[in-house]
Structure 1
Amino acid sequence: MSYPFEFDHETVWDAGYHSGQLYASLAQGAAGFLDVPSGLTPTPQGGCAVDREEFQTLVERLYGLYVSTSSEVLRELAHGLLVTSLVLLDRVGGTIALRPEDAAHLSEAKSTLAGSMAS
């Protein structure tokens, strides 16, 4: 059983059921914490539709939190959600600006994770 994430009627991430549910829940929670919409809307088929503009705003705000905190715990909590979100954002044609000091590390993490995220 899967939990597909769709954009423009195309599956951009065919997540496993539990992985997809957990990611969607974490993204919704982060969106509430950051006071922005998540850009993820549950579908009747049991997945999520992605609104690129809203989702991009969420990822920008999540990245802002990631780079601005001095709390190692908060940074690590944000890291996994951020990397997964960056892969999904790429797949829907969105992008955010990364600071030069973060670009290589996050690009490598994204590339590694993307291979595990079936589309």
Structure 2
Amino acid sequence: MSYPFEHGGETLWDAGYSSGRLYHALAEGAAGFLDVPSGLTHTPQGSCAVDREVFQVFTARLYDLYASTYNETLRELGHGVLVTSLVLLDRVGGRVAVAPRDAVGLDEAKARLASTMAV
């Protein structure tokens, strides 16, 4: 059983049921913490619809939190959600401006993760 993330009829990530639901729950929790909508909506068909514009704002705010703190615990807690969100955002054609100090590390993490995220 899978939990696909979709945008405009295109599958961005055909996540396994558990990993997809966990990411969705973590993203919703982060969105609540950031006081913005996530742009992710569970559908009656058992998938997750991605609203690109709203999801881009969510991912940008998540990155802003990551980039603005030197609290390693907070950075690590958000890192997995951020990297997964950046991969999905790339796949939907969105972008978030990343500071040069973070670019290499996040690009490497995205490449590693993206290779495991089936489309």
TM range (shorter): over 0.9
Match of residue 40 from structure 2 = 40
Q: Whole-Å Cα distance in 2 between the matches of residues 87 and 33 of structure 1? A: 21
Alpha-carbon displacement from aligned partner over 1:46-101 (angstroms, at most 9, x marks no partner): 11000000000010000000011121100000111100000000001100100011
- TM-score normalised over the length of structure 1: 0.98
Residue type at the aligned position of 2:22? L
| Alpha-carbon distance in structure 1 between the residues aligned to 2:72 and 2:44 | 38
Tell me, in whole angstroms, the C-alpha distance in 2 between the residues paired with 1:3 and 1:23: 10
| Unaligned 5+ runs, structure 2 | none
Confirm or deny that 1:87 pairs with 2:87: yes
The code of the aligned residue for 2:9 comes to: H
Within 1, Cα distance between the matches of 2:12 and 2:63?
A: 21
| Structure 1 unmatched runs, 5+ | none
Q: How many residues align?
A: 119
Alignment correspondent of 2:103: 103
Name 2:112's counterpart in structure 1: 112
Corresponding residue for 1:22? 22
Q: Structure 1 residue runs of 4+, over 6 Å off?
A: none
| In structure 2, distance between residues paired with 1:45 and 1:20 | 14
